[in-house]
Amino acid sequence: MTLPSTGDLAPCPHCGAKSRAEQSPALRWRCGVCGHPLVPSPPGVARSNGELPALVRTHRLRAMALGWTAAAFVLGAIAMMGAGVALLVWLASHLAGIVLAALAAASLAGTGASVRRARRRRGEARTALDEAWDAVAGEVLAARTGETGETGETTAPDLAKAMQTDEAHAEGMLARLSALGRVRVDVRDDAELAYRASEAAPGEDEPEAGAGPRMRAR
């Protein structure tokens, strides 16, 4: 998939650079200067950089995952060499063979544990990255609603274009924001879902905690 140009990205929240961002298979977008993950937004949107803690957490978790992956390779190599040497010395010394086999088994167990920890850290990094994107998506929707008033609506294609991502990802962000009650969902005449920032109108009660998003058909 080819994404739009990133010429109007906001400054990097990590280093403040305004250089062009780079696409990343794991991070979606990253700063072309410091390499840290960032989230695109359209020009003119007031940014609070509230996504920064989640982006920092993403970077740290991915570094931890890389460390555990390296540990898995090292321990796996030790396990293979230990097993091979144990077979070679078994005929000469059963005791040495048993010791080397035990070392290989322990290394193999460590390899499995390292792989599981690396997988867990990568999953946590993806979750943190989603949190960062959701935070920026909420600000983008709030800005678009504020510009166009009560009738301001944003569809998944609109958000995808504004944040330079694909429609499937935009739909996921809108669904999560809707589940949290941060946006309201309208069903348009063409049956397409449209979203706007969830701000209680005068005389309207705020949604209760944990309550689902309100939907109304037009």
Q: 37-67, pLDDT tens digit by residue?
A: 988 888 777 778 889 999 999 999 999 999 9
Q: Give the pLDDT confidence of 196-216 residue by residue, as tens digits.
A: 777 643 334 444 444 444 434
pTM of full prediction above 0.85: no
216 or 34, higher pLDDT: 34
> What is the distance between the alpha carbons of residues 87 and 63, in angstroms, rounded to a whole number?
37
Block residue for tokens 């991915």: 62
What is the overall mean pLDDT for the chain? 80
- Region of 181 on the Ramachandran plot (φ > 0 left; ψ -120 to 50 alpha; else beta): left
Burial of 3 (0-12, 13-18, 19+ CB in 10 A): middle
d(CA 74, CA 91): 27
Contact 2, 8 (CB under 8 A): no
Q: Which two tokens stand for residue 12?
A: 């990097």
Which secondary structure element, helix H or strand E, spans residue 98, and what is its range?
Answer: helix 94-148
Residue 5 has pLDDT above 50, yes or no: no
Instruction: Please state the rounded mean pLDDT for residues 77-105.
Output: 89
Reported as a pLDDT band with limits 50, 70 and 90, residue 156 is: confident
